[in-house]
Structure 1
Amino acid sequence: MTSTAFTKGRQRVDDLDGVLQFLEISHPSFSAPVYIVSDTRDWVSNGQTYTGFPFRFALPTDSSEEAPQARIEIDNTGRDLMGELERLPSGAALNAVVKIASRATPDIIEWSWSVPIVSISADAAVISGTLSQDWLLRQQAVRLRHDPKTSPGIF
C-alpha cells in the first residue's frame, strides 16, 4: 500500500522527486538475479545495487478474447542481461518483481508486483518480454472435479 506522502507527490503538478521503477529478474539457471532500475544511472535500494537500464511498460488491453498481458521493453545497452538470457533453456519463464519508490526515499518500496515473464525476444536495440498471469488463471479451482473420466456414473 502506498503512503500518503507518495500519493500526494504523484498528484502534484510540480513533483520535485519523481518515481523510480526497480525490476528484479530471476530464473534458477541465472548465476544471480538481475537488478535494474529505469534510469540512466545506478541506484541503491535496501542495500541492493540496481543497474541503470531504461525500460518501459505497455499496459494490458481490455479484451474479452484473450487474457490480459502487459509488455516490457528494456533498452539493450549492455551484454550483462543478454548474456543471462542467451543461457536460458527453451520455454523458460522468468520471474519478475517490479517495485516502485520515490527518488527521495529509494529504500521505501511503495508498491511491488511479482509476475512471470512468459516470452522474451531481443534485437540490437530492445529486449521485449510479455508479462502474464495466464498460467494461474488456467489452473483448476478444485483438486478433483466431476467429469466423465473421474465420475462416469453421473454422466
Structure 2
Amino acid sequence: MSIRQISAEGLRDMFAQNTDAAVFALLTFTHPSLSTPERIANNTEAITYDGHEYMGFPFKFTPPAEDEEREAVATARVSNVDRRLAEVLRQIQGLAGVDIQVVRWKQGAVTREMHIPGMYLMSADIDTETASLQISHAFDILNEPATQDILNPGTAPGLFR
C-alpha cells in the first residue's frame, strides 16, 4: 500500500510527454537559528504558494522511497549554489526541520500532490558548484526495538494467565 496518494491527473501530467502542467518540489527549512523559515522551490524564479514565497533554486529532488526494508531518505541536489543558500546551510548547526511538498500548477489551479512533514536535514555537503542535501527522519526508525520493556509474568502478570 502506498503512503503517498498522488492524484490520477497528477500522475498523468508527471508521465506525459507534453503537458501544460508544472510540478515543483517545495522545501521549507526550520531551525532555532533561523529568524524565519527558509523556503526553496525547484524553479528558476521565486514562486508563491499558500501565502509563502519560495526562493527559486533549480535542484534535482528525489523523494523518499516507499520501501519497508529501507529508511526513508529524500535527496536534493542543488546546482549553481547561490551565496544566500550557502549562508543558510552554514548557519544551521544541528538538525533542521524540513517540510517537503510537491505541488502541481495547471491552468491557474494549484494542487498539492505530496506532503511529507516531520523530516530533518541530516547532512548538507556544499562545494563551489553544488549542494547535496540528505533529508530523513531524526533517528533510524527501522532499527529501533519494537518494545523497550521485557514482558514476563513478574513484570506483567495480567498478560500471563
Q: Structure 1 residues 129 and 49, CA, compared in 2 at 3 Å: closer, same or farther?
A: same
Question: 2: CA distance between counterparts of 1:15 and 1:131?
Answer: 29
Contact 2:71–2:140 under 8 Å retained in 1:
no
Please point out which of 108, 113, 121 is paired with 2:111: 108
The aligned counterpart of 1:93 is 95
- The size of the alignment, in residue pairs, is 143
Please point out which of 5, 9, 12 is paired with 2:16: 12
Q: Deviations over 1:98-142 (max 9, x none)?
A: 211112256431211132121112111111121223615144433
> Which residues in structure 2 correspond to 1:18-97 (within 5 Å)?
18-58=22-62, 67=71, 69-89=73-93, 92-97=94-99
Gaps of 5+ in 1: none
Q: Deviations over 1:44-71 (max 9, x none)?
A: 1111111110111346788x7x745343
Q: Structure 1 residues 134 and 116, CA, compared in 2 at 3 Å: closer, same or farther?
A: closer
Contact 2:40–2:57 under 8 Å retained in 1:
yes
Q: Structure 1 residues 134 and 47, CA, compared in 2 at 3 Å: closer, same or farther?
A: closer
For residue 28 of structure 1, give the secondary structure of its aligned residue in structure 2.
coil
TM-score, structure 1 as length reference: 0.74
Q: Deviations over 1:3-56 (max 9, x none)?
A: 343233234332221311111112122121111110111111111111110111
